């Protein structure tokens, strides 16, 4: 239950609730109880969970740095930039504004209501109130629990990001973990953290804990807001099915920072509403001795204090990624106050040998805003450089000069409450709100504008505001007209009149007056000094009835108004009195009706307008992006408003009266706090259609699904900022791509169709609640037991969705060539592709089916969650109504452990292929006969029965010899020296020559191929049975540079000849 008491105060005797005249004006009591994780972990955790790129108009730039592999496990390290603008309150983080640092992995959570672990009221799940109704006993019981401040009615949202996987899940009251987008991953709680097993059985352990304490100053608090809660669990270990491990260590980073400021304003709209005044006693009224008069309840706009959102962090920053063989990546930082430390170096070692070393350099402005300047790989000289839009002018954090979306607009605001009403709004509320209009140029400050690549090429990026066309009312246009008359020295009276017809009802402003006429025979006439000149202004309606008359003496005038009516003519008459006199009348009135039209509205944030790729010696390539529908209208979708304006209601009673029913009265609250980013899986602004123009090369038209998560069902008043039901599961998915040539001709179209498995949808309900006032002793006197609660019932939907169909049509010389692929997921026991069916342009059909552990009833693999490994693959083709199997392959795994061949590991035992002409006949292609404790294959047997033995070196990480024709037991006694020398070479690369000598001396029976390596780089020599050794040479960037072959001349001297050479001239 959220403790948001919006009416609390003096307890009135004999009433069923407490009421006060003015609700508290504190942000902490006017926004939902949502406690975010740290900005750093939130950016990492949401990476991949929220769509980016063309769908949102953002850049999506990946800078791969390095990785560590051990067996089948690989942990990449990279940087990502996908910003739609830098907000004033954005934090620097560990790699500067706008960038994400993607390292090992993290599970982060957004706490909704109370932290899951603090619920003390049992395991009662939220009932489906919509279906059961408010009078159902289960609903009554649940709402009663919601009145308790220690009852948690909303499960927290967890987001996991690791090894390219993105998961979202909740934890039900009974401890069940429910993935919102179902996958083959298995999630369990373990030792205060989590263990996730992926579909191949790899085990990821998250138990490096980050804690935060979110609290507000100068405002009310939420329960839980002053507590220290676990917000993130960082990846600490990866364990493969071969028992190979990668471990991750972290630094402890502790700080407290102000993450933002907010404010709220309370007011009543219009003329207010009614509530009861003080009770009055009249003993003569037997049926109603105590009664109250209704009084006006009206609150002028009143702004509360500016509150600060603070966050104390007991955080984690990655220190070391390492395997069991002495290979590791080490991270070093620059210490900073009130933020995470800045990442400065990344060093990768193979044992003690430095393989790669990256330096990260930053521009730090005078107001301590950090921008990543460059990433240098020291050994190779590779360098990425970055330039930004006037980063030195980016404002201080927490600056009030911001638009409604939080981007800089350069204004000198003194409050955070935006002015949301337009001047012509008939319902406008007058208050001194902040100017939070978008500033198109200042809002771009700090955005990445150029990347310079290691090759010397570059990409320049230009931006434009998000914008949409809104239907607006164009006010009625005003016009002016008039008439005048004059008398010469021989004329003593003249008149002139004009008739006007107003287009709408409204005030007509009339000006008129007298002046001396000194032209013609009045020039220098003594009459001009007589002071007898005058003017009369008369206004008539269409029937000639005088509406108003004004008279003006010599050289005087005035302005007055009358009420005009639509299409009712009005005549204005000016009369000049006495000689040499001038009279005039003019009217300003509405000459047209109000009209409706569309005009551009700039929204906060930016989208990519164009990119230009440049490389030495090549013509620059420019791409432009138009965010429009086929009819030219904007394709912009705005999901949510960036501020919170909501109407609240409360109840007034006549204290002590038994005859007057409760009165409902209302007021409004406008807050500057925007927590929408934590409540939906949709971005705020996105696009249904984007046209990517490639100049003379044509265009690519992208179309996207633009569903928006639905707001829940409401009881009482709306609670802004509550979580939404995750209904928009397709949002952001690309529905079609259309390719046009430079002349606009259609050359290709790709159409995607997505589906959700309706048989596997599960829904968990959540109830966001807010207490409006305190009931004392339960409901009575016309007040229901739950009338003091506002609530929103929303859904947490768990579903499996997938690409169901892809249709590709190529247009060649006016002919459409269609290829259509259907994807099937027909086994309800897992979420793997079971078959695909392709119809080709010639109408032939090819089909591939897959069988996994569930289909093969391998319970051992199911128990270890090795459910995504295809155990059998069958392909068949149908043409001319004749179907034939083209291939069928099967891999056999053990079904119990321990196993004589694989020990305690689940590894392949054999591989079979089937005769395409006689599908029932199989042949064993490979038999795996011996593994070591790390899962390395030591001996296998080929189809013809020939044994092949593998010798593993470099601490059992690399094969250093393959012997064809010998059992492992036959060579095992001969391998000690080469294994030892390879281990020494792993620790000291200068000892490779000794290893080569040992390999030369290794001459077992059989055909032998020998290998040496530069660990974490690649193979350095391969010596086949012929003895003609190949040498692999790498450049300073650890890229293959040359392949050389050893030759011997007539004297017996060896030399190397280059047979292959590789050059890397990448375009940006």
Alpha helices in 206-317 (DSSP H): none
- 340 is a domain residue: no
For residue 429, what are the CA distances in angstroms to 24, 299, 305, 794, 1011? 20, 11, 20, 32, 80
Q: Which of 117, 132, 154 is CA-nearest to residue 791?
A: 154
- Helices 976-987, 992-1001: inter-axial angle, 10-degree rounding: 170
Tell me: pLDDT of 216 over 90. no
What pLDDT was estimated at residue 25? 52
Query: Mean pLDDT in the chain?
Result: 88
Q: Which of 534, 564, 593 is the last residue of a domain?
A: 593
Q: Which of 446-460, 645-659, 959-973 has the lowest mean pLDDT?
A: 645-659
* CA dihedral angle for residue 91, residue 29, residue 45, residue 438, rounded to 10 degrees: -50
pLDDT tens sequence across 320-334: 999 998 899 999 999
Q: How many CA atoms lie within 13 A of 981 on its CB side?
A: 24
Mean pLDDT of 32-53: 45
- Alpha-carbon span 471 to 599, nearest angstrom: 7
- Separation CA 195–CA 202 (nearest Å): 10
Domain assignment present for residue 511? The answer is yes
Contact 81, 66 (CB under 8 A): no
> Could you tell me if 576 and 493 are in contact, meaning their C-beta atoms sit under 8 angstroms apart?
yes
**DSSP element (H, E) containing 143:** helix 137-146
Count the Cβ atoms, other than its own, within 10 Å of residue 970: 16
Q: Is the pLDDT of residue 976 over 80?
A: yes
What are the structure tokens assigned to 526, written together? 């003594």
Give residues with Cβ within 8 angstroms of 291, minimum separation 6. 279, 280, 282, 285, 654, 657, 659, 660
Contact 989, 1012 (CB under 8 A): no
879's tokens: 């043409």
Domain-terminating residue out of 881, 903, 931? 931
- Model confidence over 533-544: pLDDT tens digits? 999 999 999 999
Give the per-residue pLDDT at 1068: 40
- 515-524 pLDDT, tens digit per residue, is 999 999 999 9
Q: What distance, in Å, lies between the first and last C-alpha atoms of the chain?
A: 53
The DSSP code sequence of 649-676 is EEEE--TT-SS---EEEEEEEEE----G
Inter-residue contact 823 to 691 (CB < 8 Å): no
Using CA atoms, how far residue 324 sits from 59, 70, 350, 922, in Å, is 38, 8, 11, 40
- The yes-or-no verdict on residue 15 having pLDDT over 90 is no
pLDDT band, very low/low/confident/very high, at 222 (cuts 50, 70, 90): very low
Residues 137-164 have a mean pLDDT of 90
Task: At 988, list the tokens.
Answer: 């000291």
d(CA 945, CA 86): 65
Digit-coded pLDDT (tens) for 752-806: 999 999 888 999 999 999 887 766 444 444 556 787 888 999 999 999 999 999 9
pLDDT band at 814 (very low <50, low <70, confident <90, very high): confident
Secondary structure of 329-354 in the HEC alphabet?
EEEEEECCCCCCCEEEEEEEEECCEE
Smallest Cα–Cα separation from 327: which of 953, 936, 954? Answer: 954
Establish whether the linkage from the previous residue to 143 is cis, with ω within 30° of 0.
no
Q: Which residues are CB-contacts of 451 (< 8 A; sequence separation ≥ 6)?
A: 61, 384, 385, 386, 458, 459, 461, 1068
From the centroid of its chain, how far is CA 294?
49
3-state DSSP assignment of residue 140: helix
Q: Which of 182, 154, 65 minimizes the C-alpha distance to 830? A: 182
Is residue 206 packed enough to be buried (19+ CB in 10 Å), middle (13-18) or exposed (0-12)?
buried
CATH number for position 564: 2.60.120.380
| Closest to 80 in 3D by CA, of 47, 104, 42, 50 | 47
DSSP symbols for 393-444: GPPPTT-S-B-TTSBB-----S-S-B----TT-TTPPP---B-----TTGGG
What would the two tokens of residue 211 be? 């804690």
The alpha-carbon radius of gyration of the chain (Å, integer) is 39
Q: Is 807 left (phi over 0), alpha (psi -120 to 50) or beta?
A: beta
Per-residue pLDDT of 704-724, as tens digits, reads 999 999 989 888 888 877 889
Last residue of a domain, one of 549, 576, 593: 593
Range of the domain at 576: 478-593
Residue with tokens 């390539």: 621
958-971: pLDDT as tens digits: 999 999 999 999 99
| 129 burial level (CB within 10 Å; 0-12, 13-18, 19+) | buried
Which residues neighbour 240 within 8 Å (Cβ) at sequence distance 6 or greater? 70, 71, 72, 73, 201, 202, 203, 935
- Name beta bridge partners: 248: 321
CA 790, CA 771: separation in Å to the nearest integer?
A: 6
Secondary structure letter of residue 490 according to DSSP: T
Look at 9-23, 265-279, 412-426, 1012-1026 and tell me which has the smallest mean pLDDT: 9-23
Q: What is the rounded (10 degree) CA torsion for 228, 232, 237, 238?
A: 160
Task: Starting at the earlier edge strand, list the strands of the sheet with 713-715.
Answer: 713-715, 789-798, 762-771
Q: Does the structure show a pLDDT above 60 at 40? A: no
Secondary structure string (H, E, C) spanning 693-733: ECHHHCEEEEEECCCCCECCEEECCCCCCCCCECCCCCCCC
What is the pLDDT averaged over residues 355-378? 95
**What six digits make up the tokens of 1040?**
């293959």
- Using alpha carbons, list the distances in angstroms from residue 129 to 714, 758, 766: 10, 22, 10
The answer to whether 911 and 926 have CB atoms below 8 angstroms apart is yes
Is 66 part of any domain? Answer: no
Counted domains in the chain: 2
Nearest to 936 by CA among 240, 76, 68: 240
Q: Quick one: pLDDT at residue 48?
A: 40
The encoded tokens of residue 31 equal 């926004």
Q: What sign does the CA torsion over 122, 128, 129, 131 have?
A: negative
Compute the distance between CA of residue 611 and CA of residue 695 in angstroms, rounded to an integer.
Answer: 12
Is there a domain that residue 778 lies in? no
**Closest by CA position to 710, among listed 769, 603, 797:** 797
C-beta separation of 551 from 594 below 8 A: no
897 within a domain of the structure (yes/no):
yes
- Tokens representing 72? 């089948």
Where do we find the tokens 């709100």? 433
- Nearest residue to 670 (alpha-carbon basis) of 687, 686, 688, 648: 648
Please check whether residue 77 lies inside any domain of the structure.
no
Q: Where are the beta strands (DSSP E) in 2-112?
A: 34-35, 61-70, 73-81, 99-102, 105-112
Kindly state whether residue 917 falls inside one of the protein's structural domains: yes
Q: What is the mean pLDDT of residues 839-846?
A: 96
Share of the chain above pLDDT 70, in %: 92
695 CB-contact burial (10 Å; exposed 0-12 / middle 13-18 / buried 19+): exposed
Residue 515 in any domain: the answer is yes
Q: Is the pLDDT of residue 1037 over 90?
A: no
Which pLDDT band, with edges at 50, 70 and 90, does 45 fall under? very low
3-state class of 981 per DSSP?
A: helix
């Amino acid at each position: 239950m959220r403790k948001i008491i919006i009416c609390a105060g003096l307890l009135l005797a004999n009433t069923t609730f407490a009421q006060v005249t003015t609700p508290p004006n504190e942000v902490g009591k006017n926004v939902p109880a949502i406690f975010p994780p740290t900005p750093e972990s939130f950016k990492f955790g949401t990476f991949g969970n929220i769509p980016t790129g063309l769908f949102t108009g953002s850049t999506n730039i990946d800078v791969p740095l390095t990785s560590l592999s051990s067996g089948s496990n690989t942990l990449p390290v990279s940087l990502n930039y996908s910003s739609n603008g830098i907000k004033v309150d954005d934090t620097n983080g560990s790699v500067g504004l706008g960038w994400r640092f993607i390292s090992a992995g993290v599970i982060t959570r957004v706490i909704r209501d109370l932290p899951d672990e603090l619920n003390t009221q049992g395991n009662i799940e939220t009932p489906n109130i919509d279906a059961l109704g408010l009078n159902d006993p289960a609903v009554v019981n649940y709402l009663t629990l919601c009145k308790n401040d220690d009852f948690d009615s909303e499960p927290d949202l967890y987001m996991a990001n690791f090894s390219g996987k993105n998961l979202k899940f909740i934890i039900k009251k009974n401890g069940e973990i429910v993935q919102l987008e179902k996958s083959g991953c298995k999630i369990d709680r373990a030792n205060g953290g989590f263990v996730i097993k992926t579909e191949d059985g790899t085990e990821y352990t998250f138990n490096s804990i980050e804690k935060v304490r979110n609290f507000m100053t100068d405002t009310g608090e939420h329960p839980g807001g002053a507590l220290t809660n676990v917000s993130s669990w960082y990846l600490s270990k990866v364990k493969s099915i071969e028992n190979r491990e990668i471990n991750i260590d972290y630094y402890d980073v502790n700080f407290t920072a102000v993450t933002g400021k907010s404010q709220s304003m309370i007011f009543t709209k219009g003329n207010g509403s009614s509530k009861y005044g003080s009770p009055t006693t009249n003993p003569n009224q037997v049926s109603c001795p105590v009664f109250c008069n209704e009084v006006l309840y009206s609150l002028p706009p009143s702004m509360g204090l500016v509150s600060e959102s603070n966050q104390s962090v007991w955080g984690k920053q990655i220190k070391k990624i390492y395997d069991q063989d002495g290979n590791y990546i080490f991270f070093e930082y620059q210490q900073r106050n009130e933020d995470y430390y800045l990442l400065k170096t990344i060093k990768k070692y193979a044992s003690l040998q430095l393989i790669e070393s990256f330096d990260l350099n930053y521009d730090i402005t005078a107001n301590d805003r950090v921008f990543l300047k460059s990433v240098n790989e020291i050994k190779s000289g590779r360098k990425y450089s970055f330039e930004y839009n006037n980063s030195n002018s980016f404002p201080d954090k927490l600056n009030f000069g911001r638009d409604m979306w939080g981007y800089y607009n350069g204004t000198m605001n003194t409050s955070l409450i935006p002015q949301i009403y337009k001047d012509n709004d008939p319902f406008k509320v007058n208050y001194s709100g902040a100017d939070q209009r978008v500033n198109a140029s200042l809002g771009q400050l700090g955005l990445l504008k150029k990347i310079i690549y290691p090759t010397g090429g570059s990409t320049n990026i230009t931006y434009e505001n998000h914008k949409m066309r809104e239907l607006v009312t164009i006010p009625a246009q005003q016009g002016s007209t008039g008439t005048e008359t004059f008398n010469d020295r021989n004329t003593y009276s003249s008149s002139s009149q004009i008739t006007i017809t107003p287009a709408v009802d409204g005030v007509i402003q009339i000006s008129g007056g007298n002046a001396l006429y000194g032209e013609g025979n009045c020039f220098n006439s003594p009459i001009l000094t007589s002071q007898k000149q005058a003017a009369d202004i008369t206004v008539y309606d269409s029937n000639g009835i005088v509406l108003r008359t004004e008279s003006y003496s010599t050289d005087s005038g005035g302005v007055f108004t009358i009420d005009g009516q639509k299409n009712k003519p009005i005549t204005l008459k000016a009369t000049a009195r006495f000689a040499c006199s001038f009279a005039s009348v003019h009217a300003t009135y509405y000459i047209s009706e109000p009209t409706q039209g569309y005009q551009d509205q700039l929204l906060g944030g930016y989208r990519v307008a164009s990119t230009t790729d440049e490389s030495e010696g090549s013509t620059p390539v420019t791409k432009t992006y138009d965010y429009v529908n086929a009819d030219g209208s904007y394709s912009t979708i705005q999901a949510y408003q960036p501020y919170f304006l909501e109407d609240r209601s409360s109840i007034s009673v006549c204290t002590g009266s038994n005859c007057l029913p409760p009165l409902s009265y209302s007021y409004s609250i406008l807050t500057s706090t925007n927590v929408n980013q934590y409540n939906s899986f949709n971005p705020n602004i996105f696009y249904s259609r984007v046209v990517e123009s490639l100049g003379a090369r044509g265009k690519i038209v992208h179309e996207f699904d633009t569903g928006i998560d639905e707001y829940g069902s409401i009881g009482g008043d709306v609670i802004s900022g509550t979580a939404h039901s995750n209904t928009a599961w397709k949002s952001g998915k690309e529905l079609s791509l259309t390719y046009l040539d430079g002349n606009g001709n259609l050359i290709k179209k790709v159409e995607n169709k997505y589906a959700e498995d309706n048989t596997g949808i599960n829904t968990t309900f959540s109830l966001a609640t807010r207490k409006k006032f305190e009931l004392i002793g339960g409901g009575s006197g016309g007040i229901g037991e739950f009338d003091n609660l506002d609530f929103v019932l929303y859904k947490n939907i768990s579903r499996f969705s997938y690409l169901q169909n892809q249709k590709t049509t190529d247009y060649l010389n006016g002919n459409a060539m269609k290829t259509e692929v259907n994807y099937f997921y027909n086994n309800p026991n897992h979420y793997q592709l079971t078959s695909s069916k392709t119809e080709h342009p010639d109408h032939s059909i090819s089909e591939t089916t897959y069988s996994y552990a569930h289909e093969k009833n391998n319970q051992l693999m199911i128990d270890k969650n090795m459910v995504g490994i295809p155990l059998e693959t069958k392909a068949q083709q149908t043409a001319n109504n004749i179907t034939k199997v083209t291939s069928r392959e099967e891999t056999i795994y053990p079904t119990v452990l321990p196993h004589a061949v694989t020990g305690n590991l689940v590894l392949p035992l054999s591989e079979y292929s089937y005769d395409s002409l006689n599908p029932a006949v199989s042949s064993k292609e490979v038999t795996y006969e011996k593994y070591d404790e790390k899962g390395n294959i030591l001996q296998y047997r080929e189809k013809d029965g020939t044994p092949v033995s593998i010798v593993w070196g470099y601490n059992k990480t690399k094969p250093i010899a393959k012997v064809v024709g010998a059992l492992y037991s036959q060579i095992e006694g001969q391998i000690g020296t080469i294994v030892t020398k390879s281990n020494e070479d792993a620790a000291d690369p200068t000892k490779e020559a000794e290893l080569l000598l040992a390999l030369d001396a290794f001459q077992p029976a059989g055909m032998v191929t020998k290998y040496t390596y530069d660990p974490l780089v690649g193979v350095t020599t391969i010596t086949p049975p012929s003895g003609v050794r190949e040498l692999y040479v790498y450049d300073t960037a650890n890229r293959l540079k040359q392949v050389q072959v050893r030759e011997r001349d007539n004297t017996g001297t060896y030399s190397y000849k280059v047979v292959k050479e590789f050059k890397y001239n990448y375009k940006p």
